[in-house]
Amino acid sequence: MARIAGTGDAALRAVAPRAATLVYRALHADIVSLCLKPGEPLHDRELETRFGVSRTPIREAILRLADEKLVDIFPQSGTFVSRIPVRVLFEAILIRKALEETTVRLALEAGTRERFDVLEANLGALEAAARAQNRPLFHELDTAFHEEISHIAGFPGIWDAIQQVKVQIDRYRLLTLPEEGRLSRVVEEHAAVLAALRQGDADAAVGAMGHHLGQMLGELKDRGRLDPDHFIDDDADGAADRLTVASTRTSSHAH
């Protein structure tokens, strides 16, 4: 990756807070996109060379990532990309599911044919990315579909809240995209959401969105198919199972 540049290394070192932000953003993107794998070590000297900055902005960026549970710092051992915490992931899925069930209902009430046409164009691009097996582009378009629904609803602030909780979801989703049939299934689920919106069927739209996001809860219980070293089981008391059951009951009562 290219060094952070634009005003020269000396200027970046003189503006450590700005350099720290640039390093944070780059590492955050690498961790979420799985360019940096769970458990992978992060060495200060290598990062200093990569970004062309001193140790101070590197450490500031690392501390910020640690606050977000994206890296683990062990004073005697080093700094490592965090494994995906199972309980946190369950909670994030439930929060996102609840928020997006709300936004899709609001989008149906506020949407127009033209706004739904934007979703249709996104769906077409998503299908093309699936055929090409372009998983990075597929993930980008997937995210854009959900973001557009929040904007159609007229509450972009809800999407801001979703972004804060979906970091671990994104890491998990990117781990699962290579699975057989995954891309085509996501396309079908998005198509079901869009069809319900065009038909003006609020319950169907909420149900389709709930199914699309909620099925990850069941999949997580069968995560043995994935590399176990990518996860940390922080759910010794079985809270994730209780959350899944509660979510299923809530959804069945609502629909």
Q: Is the pLDDT of residue 226 over 90?
A: no
Q: How many CB atoms lie within 10 A of CB 30?
A: 17
All domains of the chain, ordered by start, with CATH?
A: 9-82 (1.10.10.10), 85-254 (1.20.120.530)
pLDDT digits (tens, 9 = 90+) for 45-75: 999 999 999 999 999 999 999 999 999 999 8
At 97-123, the pLDDT tens digits run: 999 999 999 999 999 999 999 999 999
Model confidence at 33, pLDDT cuts 50, 70, 90, reads very high
pLDDT level of residue 79 (50, 70, 90 thresholds)? very high
Q: How many CB atoms lie within 10 A of CB 7?
A: 11
Looking at residue 224, what is its pLDDT? 74
Q: Is the pLDDT of residue 8 over 70?
A: no
249/83: higher pLDDT: 83
The better pLDDT of the pair 45, 245 is held by 45
- 254 pLDDT higher than 80: no
Whole-structure pTM value: 0.82
